């Protein structure tokens, strides 16, 4: 039995029922610690002052917005190559959550940019590529809504998702490839983080807390998607039962 065989709807729902409260509880505790450190123990930045507090929300949202898309791309691969039924359930459940996180990243980035760069928005490579990520999310959500048949919708959105994944390395390396107003990477670097440890640890703890909340939301959304498919199956079954009665010819009339 391959590992993919374990990912069937019944097992996923059973796993989800057990794991959800733990993930939510742990996420709340870790996030509370992270937020306490972000607001009360982390120092102000010597150049940016107190506005550095926005980083503890903005950066995890940016990471998770991209991470969610990477998971969607992996699911899309699972849909197209393995035709696994849980892959498109996972991808469909992920899209609105990833879009929300990316939107929070864009809004907080704009609110951070105004006092630091003296502008709400600039069409530089990093900001524009993240905006494109958000628009791709919206397009994928719209596509899921537009195609009624789940298997067909899964295949079409999987193709679009994989094409959209080209944007992920562009976002990551945009600050290295082009001259941008956005600062270069300061945490995930080959030569190690350049950020001061008193700021780095609260940032990493906040990121872990937000990640756990993200997984909790994803498990909840996956449960919903499985229920939606069960509703659809029952509705079709009810329609099949009702169909012969409604289409039956009047008595005495032959076809």
Partner 1 sequence: MVIDQHFGFIAFSWLAGIIGFAGIGLWIWRDRKALDKQLDKLEADLPTDASDRRGG
* Positions that interact with partner 1 (CB under 8 A): 39-40, 44, 49-51, 53-54, 57-58, 61, 96-97, 100-101, 103-104, 107-108, 111-112, 114-115, 213, 217, 220-221, 223-224, 227-228, 230-231, 234-235, 237-238, 240-241
Q: How far is the CB of 79 from partner 1 (least distance, A)?
A: 22
Q: How far is the CB of 2 from partner 1 (least distance, A)?
A: 30
| Shorter beta-carbon distance to partner 1: residue 30 or 104 | 104
SS3 of 8, please? coil
Q: Which of 189, 166, 191, 192 is nearest to 176 (CA)?
A: 189
| Shorter beta-carbon distance to partner 1: residue 44 or 163 | 44
| Shorter beta-carbon distance to partner 1: residue 4 or 231 | 231
For residue 208, give Cα distances in angstroms to 22, 71, 180.
Answer: 14, 17, 28
| Shorter beta-carbon distance to partner 1: residue 97 or 175 | 97
| Shorter beta-carbon distance to partner 1: residue 115 or 169 | 115
CA-CA distance, 49 to 28, in Å (whole number)?
Answer: 28
Could you give the count of Cα atoms lying within 13 Å of 52 in the half-sphere of its Cβ?
A: 21
CA-CA distance, 24 to 21, in Å (whole number)?
Answer: 5
Q: How far is the CB of 110 from partner 1 (least distance, A)?
A: 9
CA-CA distance, 251 to 2, in Å (whole number)?
Answer: 55
CA-CA distance, 36 to 21, in Å (whole number)?
Answer: 23
Q: How far is the CB of 244 from partner 1 (least distance, A)?
A: 8
């Amino acid at each position: 039995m391959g590992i993919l065989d374990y990912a069937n709807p019944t097992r996923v729902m059973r796993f989800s029922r057990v794991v959800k409260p733990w993930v939510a509880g742990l996420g709340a505790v870790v996030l509370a610690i992270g937020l306490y450190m972000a607001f009360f123990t982390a120092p102000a930045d010597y150049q940016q002052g107190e506005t550095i507090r926005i980083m503890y929300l903005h950066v995890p949202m940016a990471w998770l917005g991209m991470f969610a898309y990477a998971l969607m791309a992996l699911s899309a691969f699972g849909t197209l190559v393995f035709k696994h039924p849980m892959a498109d359930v996972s991808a469909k459940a992920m899209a609105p959550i990833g879009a929300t996180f990316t939107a929070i990243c864009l809004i907080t980035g704009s609110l951070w940019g105004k006092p630091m760069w003296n502008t709400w928005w600039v069409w530089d490579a990093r900001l524009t590529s993240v905006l494109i990520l958000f628009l791709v999310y919206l397009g994928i959500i719209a596509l899921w809504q537009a195609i009624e048949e789940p298997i067909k919708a899964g295949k079409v959105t999987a193709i679009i998702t994989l094409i959209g994944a080209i944007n992920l390395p562009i976002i990551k390396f945009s600050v290295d490839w082009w001259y941008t107003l956005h600062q270069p990477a300061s945490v995930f670097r080959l030569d190690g983080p350049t950020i001061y440890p008193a700021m780095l640890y609260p940032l990493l703890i906040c990121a872990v807390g937000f990640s756990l909340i993200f997984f909790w939301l994803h498990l909840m959304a996956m449960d919903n998607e499985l229920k939606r498919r069960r509703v659809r199956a029952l509705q079709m079954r009810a329609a099949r039962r009702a169909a012969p009665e409604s289409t039956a010819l009047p008595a005495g009339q032959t076809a």
